[in-house]
């Protein structure tokens, strides 16, 4: 199977599917309403910058996980065949997985924070509530954000697997040895 285990491959495929679902739910969500009897207003994800960033980051994270999935099948050998030559690769994969988790989680959190203004409004800035008029739009965005958080959790598990693959190169016996007198 290469350098990637079946559990990690399954999780990466699951994350790819959830990320694509999240990006599609946000990107293709739109609702048109007639306001004040003559004004037509269309709500899309482009109305909020945080949702635009979320679509791009989720798409990039899906591509990243797809590349990592292919990396597991392209590199020769198995986990048992790894030597110290792969320590640098393991470090880079660990750091990239960590960065991907944090960036996806941050993008989802920023989108949730920005979406709360659509739910509650902001009277001091004279922003009106939008979710009482565009309920289907807001419910679909909420579902997409929930999917994004599930993807973040699965990516954190993948990152933990990556950490295990990295730190198994370092012997705990040598790490905990005290200097002799």
Distance of CA 118 to the CA centre of its chain: 23
How does pLDDT run across 82-95, given as a tens digit for each residue?
A: 445 577 788 888 89
Of 78, 76, 68, 122, the closest CA to residue 99 belongs to 68
**CB under 8 A, 24+ apart: contacts of 33-36:** 33/133, 33/134, 35/133
Q: Does some domain include residue 61?
A: yes
126 lies in which domain range? 6-76+84-168
Q: How many domains does the chain have?
A: 1
Q: Cα angle at 35 between 30 and 38, to 5 degrees? A: 115
**Residue at 14 is within a domain:** yes
Q: How do residues 47-92 score in pLDDT, each as one tens digit? A: 788 889 999 999 999 999 999 888 867 765 555 444 455 777 888 8
Q: Is position 179 within any domain?
A: no
Asked whether the whole model's pTM tops 0.85, one would answer no
Residue 174 lies in a domain: no
Residue 176 is assigned to a structural domain of this protein:
no
């Amino acid at each position: 199977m290469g350098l990637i285990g079946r559990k990690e491959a399954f999780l990466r495929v699951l994350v790819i599917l959830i990320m694509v679902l999240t990006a599609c739910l946000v990107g293709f969500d739109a609702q048109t309403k007639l306001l004040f009897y003559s004004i037509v207003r269309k709500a899309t994800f482009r109305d909020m910058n945080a949702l635009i960033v979320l679509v791009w980051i989720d798409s990039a994270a899906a591509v990243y996980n797809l590349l990592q999935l292919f990396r597991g099948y392209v590199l020769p050998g198995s986990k048992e065949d790894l030597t110290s030559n792969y320590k640098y690769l393991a470090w880079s994969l660990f750091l990239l997985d960590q960065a991907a988790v944090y960036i996806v989680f941050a993008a989802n959190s920023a989108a949730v924070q920005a979406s709360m203004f659509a739910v509650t409004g902001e009277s001091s800035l004279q922003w009106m509530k939008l979710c009482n008029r565009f309920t289907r739009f807001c419910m679909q965005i909420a579902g997409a954000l929930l999917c994004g958080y599930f993807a973040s959790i699965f990516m954190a598990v993948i990152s933990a697997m990556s950490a295990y693959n990295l730190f198994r190169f370092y012997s705990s016996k040598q790490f905990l040895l005290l200097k002799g007198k």
